[in-house]
Amino acid sequence: MRVIAFLNNKGGVGKTTCSRTMAEYLSKVKKRPTLAIDFDPQCNFSHQYLKMEIDPAAPEGLMPPIHPDYDPQDPDHYDWDGRSSISEIFYGQGVVPYPTYIEKLDLAPGHAEKLLAAESVRKSEVVEKVHKQLANFLASPDVKAAYDTVVIDTAPSKGPLTVSVIKAATHIIIPSVMEEQPVQGIYGMLQLWMQESLSREKNRPLTLVGILPNMFKQTRLHKDILTSLQENTAIGKYMMPVKLSQRIVFAEIDSEDANPHSIFDFQENHVAKQEAMEVCEFISERIFTNE
Amino acid sequence: MSKKKRFGVSEALSRGLSETINVVENNAGIYRNVVLPLSRIELDPDNPRKLAITLADVQQGLNKSDPLYQRKSEEFERLTELAMTIKSSGIINPIVVYKLGEAYRVVAGERRCLASILAGKQEIEARVFNEKPQGFALKLVQWIENTAREDLTLDERINNIRDILRAYQNQHGDISVTPTLLKNIIGLSLPQATYYVAVLNAQPDVQQMIENGKIRSLDKAAIICGIESPELRHQAISACITGCSLKELRKMIAHAKQNSKKHLMVDQAVKRGRAASRVNMGFTLKPRVIQVIVESVVDRAEYKKYADLFMKVDWSHIDQTTRMFKKLIEILEYESEIAYD
């Protein structure tokens, strides 16, 4: 099972759009049974596929709706409130993924309050309570049997949630806008990649697929920063030769009643679709080389 | 016309990015850094550092009836000091281990382990080799770890090298040990490797003195090993034990080679230096000092005739100043000869 995570501790660099595009490519185009996981308390990734609800206990936060399989009459469900998010892994509860409108794609949505609580666990407990939980969950036989790929959207942080993702991932991708501050975010993520790589066994490497130039505009600033990263011998190897441009269509398909709802439902010659295909094909080739 | 600004990533950030990438590329998969429970760690019975103290001693305390009590209690005292620092600031470098069954065997860091137990720690930071180091590589890591420390005796160091060479020969066949070989596998300098090779082949009398700690310096031992005559060697050993310096030892041997009359050499060895026959002029880092000397000399009436010689000297130039100072000395010697003859 491949576990692909999109990371950057700077917000607004397009982690959610990239996660979404990749998850839809794998499930829709490649027909691979895919699990999308939303590890960001903002729950934007979840909102693409589910009607997230306002949590009455925490008005700022979102929580998943009642699961379609939930039956209050079912004696098996007596201790379940009918909602299930990925954050259940921190509370010893089972995670029940939600089906989405895409046949091969399931979603383990986020839960703002519970994810934030996990992020603020005391330092002394964080290793046991947070860092290892996602890896344990993904290693369970049920998950392995059901899915062939997992795509994780992460919070813009270097905190326990992101570390938990890094510990569970097999492949990471760092999307970044070609501007100074997001590039600093690349540094933060490379540090985490280094720490994790140096604590892993040889047969379980954490592969950095690459740095993906995202929301790219044909401006001098973006072009110059991209060139300077490509020209650096160490970083250049990890700069993906593909990129996603800044396009309004990615925002348009986000809205609830958008039609089409997926970039892959556009016509073949649609420029944004072509670009998304190129990026996803590149990542996919890298990730599934040994298959 | 002004140039268009070119944007780029700051130098510091770009360096940070490439350094991080290089660390991962060069190190991932070779070993991993983890925190291990001390209960899973066992010491290497073949570690070249011959600590008398054992894990049980540290856990249960020392036993006065132990024949090694004296040595162990000294070691215990030093471990307690280390334990104090571990309590306050932890271990600075992780220990090095490899997995052996359910346990982890220490390659380097015995004292840190024992002291951590003394400090009441439950876990220790460790670097785990992904594969068990080969005999030779294992010895080499222990050697590198241990030579960096000054408190290792010559005997311990020699035995380390013997072990490394044995492990190396087991892997590469029975190769004869030359200084160059030693230099290449351990990374010593050639002169040091030459000394070690000499001491490895030491005559039994020298070897015994090294074993019982009478000879503690590598270079002295190596020089003594080079003496073929047993009588002279015996004298050199005695001189060495009584605290004769390396220079004196060298002089004594050189003298003996020149002069076959042996009684003379003993005199030489006992006497500290010979009568001085010339004045040492010393040196200075400040060429201006020489300028002052030169100018004061040529200021004197009898030296005025030499003043032109020093007119165009650049006194900030070390080589030029040295040359001119030598010239001045020659002149002074010449003039004083004339004056006193």
DSSP for B214-240, written as a single string: S---HHHHHHHHT---HHHHHHHHHHH
Give the pLDDT band of residue A40 (cuts 50, 70, 90): very high
| Residue owning tokens 């609800």 | A53
- Cβ–Cβ contact B33 with A under 8 A: yes
Q: Do A191 and B20 touch (CB under 8 A)?
A: yes
Q: Are residues B103 and B206 in the same domain?
A: no
Distance (Å, whole) CA B305 – CA B318:
24
- Cβ–Cβ contact B8 with A under 8 A: yes
| Cβ-Cβ contacts under 8 Å, B14 against chain A | 228-229, 232, 235
Q: Are residues B119 and B152 in the same domain?
A: no
* Per-residue model confidence (pLDDT) at position B99: 81
Q: Do A194 and B23 touch (CB under 8 A)?
A: yes
Distance (Å, whole) CA A38 – CA A107:
8
Q: Do B28 and A225 touch (CB under 8 A)?
A: no
- Cβ–Cβ contact B6 with A under 8 A: yes
- Cβ–Cβ contact A190 with B under 8 A: yes
Q: Do A190 and B14 touch (CB under 8 A)?
A: no
Least confident of A80-84, A229-233, A286-290: A286-290
Q: Are residues B223 and B303 in the same domain?
A: no
* Per-residue model confidence (pLDDT) at position B335: 83
B-chain residue closest to A193, CA distance: B24
pLDDT digits (tens, 9 = 90+) for A147-189: 999 999 999 988 889 999 999 999 999 999 999 889 988 998 9
Distance (Å, whole) CA B315 – CA B328:
14
Q: Are residues B152 and B243 in the same domain?
A: yes
Residue B14 lies in a domain: no
Q: Do B9 and A202 touch (CB under 8 A)?
A: no
- Cβ–Cβ contact A130 with B under 8 A: no
Residue B13 lies in a domain: no
* Per-residue model confidence (pLDDT) at position A101: 93
By residue range, what is the domain housing residue B301? 278-330
Distance (Å, whole) CA A219 – CA A183:
16
Q: Do B17 and A220 touch (CB under 8 A)?
A: no
Residue B339 lies in a domain: no
Q: Do A200 and B28 touch (CB under 8 A)?
A: yes
Distance (Å, whole) CA A287 – CA A25:
13
* Per-residue model confidence (pLDDT) at position B132: 66
Instruction: Kindly compute the dihedral angle of the four CA atoms of residues A10, A16, A18, A19, in this order, to the nearest 10 degrees.
Output: 120
Residue B1 lies in a domain: no
Question: Taking a C-beta distance cutoff of 8 angstroms, is the pair A263, A25 a contact?
Answer: no
* Per-residue model confidence (pLDDT) at position A177: 95
| Residue owning tokens 């936060």 | A61
The CATH number of the domain where B174 resides is what?
1.10.10
Higher pLDDT, B130 or A21: A21
pLDDT digits (tens, 9 = 90+) for A113-137: 888 888 887 766 776 778 888 999 9
Question: Could you say which DSSP state residue A239 is in?
Answer: B
The CATH number of the domain where B104 resides is what?
3.90.1530.30
Distance (Å, whole) CA A61 – CA A155:
14
By residue range, what is the domain housing residue A137? 2-287
Residue in A82, A103, A104 with CA at minimum distance from that of residue A93: A82
Residue B320 lies in a domain: yes
- Cβ–Cβ contact A163 with B under 8 A: no
| Cβ-Cβ contacts under 8 Å, B31 against chain A | 198
* Per-residue model confidence (pLDDT) at position A244: 94
* Per-residue model confidence (pLDDT) at position A157: 87
Sign (positive or negative) of CA dihedral A225, A227, A228, A234: positive
Sign (positive or negative) of CA dihedral A279, A281, A282, A287: positive
pLDDT digits (tens, 9 = 90+) for A225-263: 999 999 988 899 999 999 999 999 988 898 878 888 899
Q: Are residues B149 and B266 in the same domain?
A: yes
Question: Taking a C-beta distance cutoff of 8 angstroms, is the pair B132, B98 a contact?
Answer: yes
Domain endpoint, select from B107, B132, B157? B132
Find residues 34-73 of chain B whose CB sits inside 8 Å of chain A: 34
Instruction: Extract the residue ranges of chain B whose pLDDT is less than 70.
Output: 1-4, 47-50, 130-151, 259-273, 340-341
Q: Are strands A34-38 and A105-108 parallel, antiparallel or unpaired?
A: parallel
Q: Are strands B95-100 and B123-129 parallel, antiparallel or unpaired?
A: parallel
β partners of residue B96: B108, B127
Q: Are residues B266 and B282 in the same domain?
A: no
Domain endpoint, select from B109, B132, B155? B132
| Residue owning tokens 């000054």 | B150
Instruction: Kindly compute the dihedral angle of the four CA atoms of residues A42, A45, A46, A51, in this order, to the nearest 10 degrees.
Output: 90
Sign (positive or negative) of CA dihedral A62, A64, A66, A70: negative
A 10 A CB-CB count for A30 gives 15
Residue B337 lies in a domain: no
> Which of A184, A194, A221 has the CB atom closest to B24's CB atom?
A194
Distances (CA, A) of B312 to A191, A209, B289, B295: 61, 69, 17, 13
Instruction: Return the exposure string of A113-145: e unless at least 16 CB atoms fall within 10 Å of the residue's CB, then b.
Output: bbbbbbbebeeeebeebbbbbbbebbeeeebee
> Which of B6, B10, B32 has the CB atom closest to A198's CB atom?
B32
Letter for the amino acid at B24?
V
CA distance B209 to chain A (A): 46
Q: How are the residues of chain A apportioned to helix, strand and coil, as percentages rounded to the nearest 5?
A: 45, 15, 40
Q: Are strands A2-6 and A171-176 parallel, antiparallel or unpaired?
A: parallel
- Domain count of the fold of chain B: 3
Domain endpoint, select from B252, B270, B288? B270
pLDDT digits (tens, 9 = 90+) for A42-81: 999 999 999 999 887 777 689 999 999 998 888 888 888 8
Q: Are residues B206 and B311 in the same domain?
A: no
Residue B10 lies in a domain: no
Q: Are residues B161 and B252 in the same domain?
A: yes
- Domain count of the fold of chain A: 1
Distances (CA, A) of B43 to B96, B118, B135, B147: 11, 15, 16, 19
Residue A145 tokens read as 């049997």
Q: Are residues B161 and B44 in the same domain?
A: no
Question: Taking a C-beta distance cutoff of 8 angstroms, is the pair A178, A215 a contact?
Answer: no
* Per-residue model confidence (pLDDT) at position A289: 82
Residue A40: alpha-carbon gap to chain centroid: 9
Q: Is B319 left (phi over 0), alpha (psi -120 to 50) or beta?
A: alpha
List all residues 6 or more positions away from A92 whose beta carbon is below 8 Å from its beta carbon: none
A-chain residue closest to B23, CA distance: A194
> Which of A186, A199, A202 has the CB atom closest to B33's CB atom?
A199
Q: Are residues B29 and B71 in the same domain?
A: yes
The CATH number of the domain where A75 resides is what?
3.40.50.300
Please give the interface size between A and B, counted as residue pairs whose CB atoms are below 8 Å apart.
Answer: 81
- Cβ–Cβ contact B122 with A under 8 A: no
Residue B203 tokens read as 């005559």
Question: Could you say which DSSP state residue A255 is in?
Answer: S
Rg (CA), chain B: 31
Residue B219 lies in a domain: yes
- Cβ–Cβ contact A224 with B under 8 A: yes
Residue A160 tokens read as 């326990």
- Cβ–Cβ contact A204 with B under 8 A: no
List all residues 6 or more positions away from A259 whose beta carbon is below 8 Å from its beta carbon: none
Residue A190 tokens read as 């490379």
Distance (Å, whole) CA A110 – CA A95:
11
ipTM value > 0.90: no
